[in-house]
Amino acid sequence: MIKIDLVTGFLGSGKTTFIRHYARYLLARGERICILENDYGAINIDMVLLKDLLGKNLSLEMVIGGDGQSAHQRRFRTKLISIAMLGYTRVIVEPSGIYDVDEFFDTLSDDPLDRWYEVNTVLSIVDAHPVKDRSTESGYVLASECADAGKIILSKTRGVSESEIQETVSGLNQAMETIHCNRRFTLDQDVIRKDWEELTEAEFDAIASAGYVKASYLKHSLKETEHYDSLFYMNVLMPEQALRDAITGILGNPAAGKVYRIKGFTETTDRGFVEVNATAENLSMQPIDKGTSVLVVIGEKLVKPVIDTYFKGFTESGDTVMHGMA
């Protein structure tokens, strides 16, 4: 049977970055991998971010939505059927940052997928920084995405103190209590808190065999479009410092909504094309070859007119394009 892993996590937690490390480890073991981007958005930046991994033993596929969960789930099922015919030993599923994990298990319990796939590991990526102002909706999403995880993988651990990490895990357990789930996480047994660059082969072995837990909790009806959104900006062209100022301005402006992450690729007038990956804690701009020019602002209850002002005069149309989840 084909092993299938789910790598979930809240918006901006670092799922794609972790998958890059995880996929390299699996490739070194001789696995043949398909990474399936299971998203609700029409533009999938994460798929572009993983393209350099492409090779004879790794491919990328995508499922998109936009017309309801049932239609999205049918596409997910159809894609898994086609992937099963191609000789992979493992499939890694990276869903949207707002995801109902039950969709994953329900789909794989159907015939013929239950005969072709073995659910291997569910991993949840959680930002190591404590969050003090998490909304009720975000608390539910975080807890529901962690409830079934075999391991919690902390991201962005550099510079985070031991007390902050303990506060993060405590906050996660409080979120579990809020959704009436009996599961609780401990640092020693359930959480990986090591910098991903320093993970050993033995530690990746443990992650790859972490399994999953079928936990029960109180389900909420939560539609992505009611609370969460992504704004896509095409063909932004501005000086590097102006771009940095715009990104930090958006992330630090409460009037823009709760912005979790800004990522993508764009051109600067003085440095050429750069890959952007920014959160409130860190802003990275790395030079890349010329390619697609799109920046995506991801968050909760985004205020488009406010965010638009930061890019006014620096885009071809001066407007955002499509909305979706990333």
Chunked mean pLDDT (size 10), the chain, 326 residues: 95 88 95 85 61 84 72 88 95 86 92 96 94 84 94 92 95 94 95 93 95 91 64 91 96 93 90 88 84 84 93 66 45
The pLDDT tens digits of the residues spanning 148-190 come to: 999 999 998 988 999 999 999 999 999 999 999 999 999 999 9
As annotated, the residues of the chain forming the CATH 3.30.1220.10 domain(s) are 225-311
Output the pLDDT for position 222. Answer: 58
The pLDDT tens digits of the residues spanning 6-45 come to: 999 988 888 988 999 999 999 999 999 999 987 655 556 6
Q: Which residues contact 159 (CB under 8 A, 6 or more apart)?
A: none
CATH of domain 2-208: 3.40.50.300
As annotated, the residues of the chain forming the CATH 3.40.50.300 domain(s) are 2-208
> Do the Cβ atoms of 235 and 273 come closer than 8 Å?
no
User: Element (H or E) spanning 319, and its range?
Assistant: none
Output the pLDDT for position 185. Answer: 97
For residue 226, what are the CA distances in angstroms to 24, 128, 220, 301?
Answer: 36, 26, 13, 8
CATH 3.30.1220.10, applies to 225-311: yes
For residue 43, what are the CA distances in angstroms to 84, 260, 262, 293?
Answer: 25, 18, 14, 12
Q: What is the reported pTM? A: 0.85
Tokens 């550099």, residue located: 158
Output the pLDDT for position 226. Answer: 58
